[in-house]
Structure 1
Amino acid sequence: MLYNSLVKPLLFQLEAEQAHDLTNQFAQKASKSSLLQSLAKAIYNFQSPRLCQNIWGLKFRNPLGLAAGFDKNGKVPEIMQALGFGFVEIGSITGNPSTGNPKPRMFRLPQDRALINRMGLNNDGAKTVVKRLKNKKLSIPLGVNIAKTHDPKVLGDLAIRDYVHSFQEAKKVADYITVNISCPNTTEGKTFEDPAALEELLSALNIRDDARLVPTLVKVSSDLNHDQLLALLDVCEDHRVHGYVACNTSSQRENLTTSPSEIKRIGRGGLSGSPIAAKSIRIIGWISDATKGQKPIIGVGGIDSFSTALNMMLAGADLLQVYSGLIYEGPGLIKSINRQLLGQLKELNVDSIHQLVTASG
Structure 2
Amino acid sequence: MYKKLIRPIFFLFDPEKIHYFTFSILKVVSKIPLLPFFLRSFYKVKDKKLERKLFGLTFENPVGLAAGFDKNAVLYNELANFGFGFVEIGTVTPLSQIGNPKKRLFRLKDDQGIINRMGFNNNGIASAVKELKKNKGKIIIGGNIGKNTTTKPENYTADYLMCFEGLHPYVDYFVLNVSCPNVSSHAKLEDAEYLKELILEVKKMNNKQAVQKPILLKIAPDLNKRQLDEIILLMSETKLDGVIASNTSVNRKGLIESKKRLEIIGNGGLSGKPIKSRSTEVIKYLADNSGKKFPIIGVGGIHSEKDALEKLDAGADLIQIYTGFIYEGPSLVKRINKAILSRV
| TM-score where L is the length of structure 1 | 0.91
Superposition map of 1:300-339 within 5 A: 300-339=299-338
Q: Secondary structure at the residue paired with 1:14? A: coil
Q: Secondary structure at the residue paired with 1:88? A: strand
Superposition map of 1:279-318 within 5 A: 279-318=278-317
Q: Aligned partners of 1:31 and 1:184: how far apart in 2?
A: 34
Q: Check whether the contact 1:203–1:239 (CA below 8 A) recurs between aligned residues.
A: yes
Displacement of 1:292 = 1.2
Q: Given the alignment, which residue of 185, 210, 214 partners 1:188?
A: 185
Match of residue 171 from structure 2: 174
Q: Secondary structure at the residue paired with 2:101? A: coil
Superposition map of 1:176-325 within 5 A: 176-190=173-187, 192-207=189-204, 210=207, 212-325=211-324
Return the letter of the residue paired with 2:310. N
Displacement of 1:291 = 2.5
Moved over 6 A (4+): none
Displacement of 1:131 = 2.5
- Alpha-carbon spacing, 1:76–1:209, altered in 2? closer, same or farther (3 Å): closer
Unaligned runs of 5+ in 2: none
Return the letter of the residue paired with 1:24. F
Match of residue 149 from structure 2: 150
Match of residue 64 from structure 1: 63
* Residue deviations 1:234-281 (CA, integer Å, cap 9, x gap): 223211100010000001112211111111111000000001011111
Q: Aligned partners of 1:314 and 1:37: how far apart in 2?
A: 33
- Alpha-carbon spacing, 1:195–1:31, altered in 2? closer, same or farther (3 Å): farther
Match of residue 359 from structure 1: none
Q: Secondary structure at the residue paired with 1:92? A: strand
Q: Given the alignment, which residue of 158, 162, 174 partners 2:159?
A: 162
Q: Secondary structure at the residue paired with 1:192? A: helix
| Correspondence 1:7 to 2:10 | no
Q: Secondary structure at the residue paired with 1:284? A: helix
| TM-score where L is the length of structure 2 | 0.95
Displacement of 1:197 = 1.6
Displacement of 1:146 = 0.4
Return the letter of the residue paired with 1:158. N
Displacement of 1:29 = 2.8
- Alpha-carbon spacing, 1:120–1:242, altered in 2? closer, same or farther (3 Å): same
Return the letter of the residue paired with 2:4. S
Q: Check whether the contact 1:193–1:232 (CA below 8 A) recurs between aligned residues.
A: no
Return the letter of the residue paired with 1:319. L
Q: Check whether the contact 2:77–2:138 (CA below 8 A) recurs between aligned residues.
A: no
Displacement of 1:213 = 2.1
Displacement of 1:31 = 4.9
Q: Check whether the contact 1:182–1:191 (CA below 8 A) recurs between aligned residues.
A: no
> Which stretch of structure 1 is more off in the superposition, 185-194 or 127-136?
185-194
Q: Check whether the contact 1:183–1:190 (CA below 8 A) recurs between aligned residues.
A: no
Return the letter of the residue paired with 1:195. A
Displacement of 1:314 = 0.6
Unaligned runs of 5+ in 1: 346-361
Q: Aligned partners of 2:109 and 2:142: how far apart in 1?
A: 29
Q: Check whether the contact 1:309–1:320 (CA below 8 A) recurs between aligned residues.
A: yes
> Which stretch of structure 1 is more off in the superposition, 127-136 or 333-342?
127-136
Displacement of 1:210 = 1.9
Return the letter of the residue paired with 1:273. G
- Alpha-carbon spacing, 1:129–1:208, altered in 2? closer, same or farther (3 Å): closer
Return the letter of the residue paired with 2:22. T
Displacement of 1:183 = 0.8
Q: Check whether the contact 1:218–1:245 (CA below 8 A) recurs between aligned residues.
A: yes
Q: Secondary structure at the residue paired with 2:142? A: strand
Q: Aligned partners of 2:61 and 2:307: how far apart in 1?
A: 16
Displacement of 1:201 = 1.1
